[in-house]
């Protein structure tokens, strides 16, 4: 090896040593993943995010729960989180458009409480959804049982906030209100306007003057709804979904017997959606590293004008 070759080798070695020293000294975060609005965020997996949510709820996790991963890998690196009432096909498409690969859904993805896919195996609707989820590596996790176990119930809290009814809450209650006096018709009309829905249904005297209102979100079952209607401090129950031959007929009989009772059925989605909307605000604090968005599923029904 001549001197010329040696000096080339020394030069190359010193460049390598210089580069190694510089890269070691530079405070580069290797886990920087992507930037949105110039905000760096760091690698978090879906599992990491669920672990933070465990802490956020402050409740003891149930051994048997539907709050589980439904699709995708729990160790997937998350680029964005979408909260929603229900991971509909349309919600999934909008999540992908917004770079969210982790969908936190309140209700099931596959048309039954436990998200069993066997009953509809080979069904074109279910297959289309599964194909889309797989193509986009979407992780879906359900947050149902434990958000309802929070104090106050996270879904109810969001609904009250959405209505701006914190000021009407009865002391010590999370879902019983004393509102300014109005007729049942006026109350129903104000809810119809507020949620921009044409499909709410009402049982009761439209002219009933009411102030005492209860809120029952989702589909807690007829006994839970009837127990609220039995209360002396509930004239009108604002509810989500009800079996038509149970709570509905109970209210019809109560009204026919001259009792001051009424029910306003918003529909399941409308009665819980604000819970998932305001959850997104809380999760922005819980997982500041990852963008969190609320994606509205909306009311599935329509009605002729």
From the list 123-131, 184-192, 230-238, 270-278, the region that binds Zn ion by CB under 5 A is 270-278
Number of residues that bind Zn ion (CB under 5 A): 2
Provide, rounded to whole angstroms, the least separation between the CB of residue 218 and Zn ion: 4
Site string for Zn ion, 77-96 (x = CB under 5 A): --------------------
Select from 72, 80, 214, 218 the one that contacts Zn ion (CB under 5 A). Answer: 218
3-state DSSP of the chain = CCHHHHHHHHHHHHHHHHHHHHHHHCCCCCCEEEEECCEEEECCEHHHHHHHHHHHHCCCCCCCCCCCEEECCCCCECCCEEEEEECCHHHHHHHHHCCCCEEEEEECCCCCCCCCCHHHCCCHHHHHHHHHHHHCCCEEEECCHHHHHCCCCHHHHHHHHHHCCHHHECCCCCCEEEEEEEEHHHHHHHHHHHHCCCCCEEECCCCCEEEEEEEECCCCCHHHHHHHHHCCCCCEEEECCCCCCCHHHHHHHHHHCCCCCEEEECCHHHHHHHHHHHHHHHHHHHCCCCCEEECCCCCCCCCCC
Residue whose CB is less far from Zn ion, 129 or 268:
268
From the list 6-14, 165-173, 218-226, 285-293, the region that binds Zn ion by CB under 5 A is 218-226
Residue whose CB is less far from Zn ion, 101 or 216:
216
Residue whose CB is less far from Zn ion, 67 or 235:
67
Binding status of residue 267 toward Zn ion by CB under 5 A: no
Provide, rounded to whole angstroms, the least separation between the CB of residue 32 and Zn ion: 37
From the list 55-63, 220-228, 254-262, 264-272, the region that binds Zn ion by CB under 5 A is 264-272
Provide, rounded to whole angstroms, the least separation between the CB of residue 271 and Zn ion: 8
Provide, rounded to whole angstroms, the least separation between the CB of residue 153 and Zn ion: 9
Point out which residues bind Zn ion (CB under 5 A): 218, 272
């Amino acid at each position: 090896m001549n001197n010329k070759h040696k000096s080339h080798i020394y030069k190359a070695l010193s460049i390598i040593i210089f580069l190694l020293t510089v890269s070691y000294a530079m405070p580069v975060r290797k886990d920087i993943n992507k930037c949105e609005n110039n905000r760096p965020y760091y690698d978090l997996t879906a599992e990491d995010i669920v672990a933070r949510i465990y802490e956020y709820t402050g409740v003891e996790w149930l051994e048997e729960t539907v709050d589980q991963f439904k699709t995708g890998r729990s160790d997937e690196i998350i680029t964005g989180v979408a909260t929603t009432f229900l991971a509909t096909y349309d919600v999934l498409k909008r999540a992908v458009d917004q770079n969210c690969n982790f969908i936190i859904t309140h209700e099931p993805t596959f048309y039954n409480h436990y998200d069993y896919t066997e009953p509809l195996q080979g069904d074109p609707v279910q297959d289309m959804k599964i194909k889309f989820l797989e193509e986009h590596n979407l992780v879906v996790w359900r947050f149902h049982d434990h958000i309802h176990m929070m104090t106050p119930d996270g879904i109810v809290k969001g609904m009250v906030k959405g209505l701006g009814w914190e000021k009407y809450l009865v002391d010590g209650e999370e879902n019983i209100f004393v509102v300014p006096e109005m007729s049942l018709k006026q109350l129903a009309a104000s809810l119809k306007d507020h949620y921009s829905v044409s499909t709410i249904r009402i049982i009761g005297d439209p002219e009933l003057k009411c102030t005492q209102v209860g809120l029952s979100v989702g589909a807690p079952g007829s006994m839970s709804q009837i127990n609220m209607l039995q209360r002396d401090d509930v004239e009108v129950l604002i509810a989500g979904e009800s079996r038509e031959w149970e709570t509905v007929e109970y209210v019809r009989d109560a009204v026919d017997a001259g009792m001051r009772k009424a029910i306003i059925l918003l529909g399941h989605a409308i009665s819980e959606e604000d819970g998932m909307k305001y959850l997104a605000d809380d999760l922005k604090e819980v997982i500041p590293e990852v963008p969190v968005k609320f994606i509205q599923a909306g009311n599935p029904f329509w009605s002729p004008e």
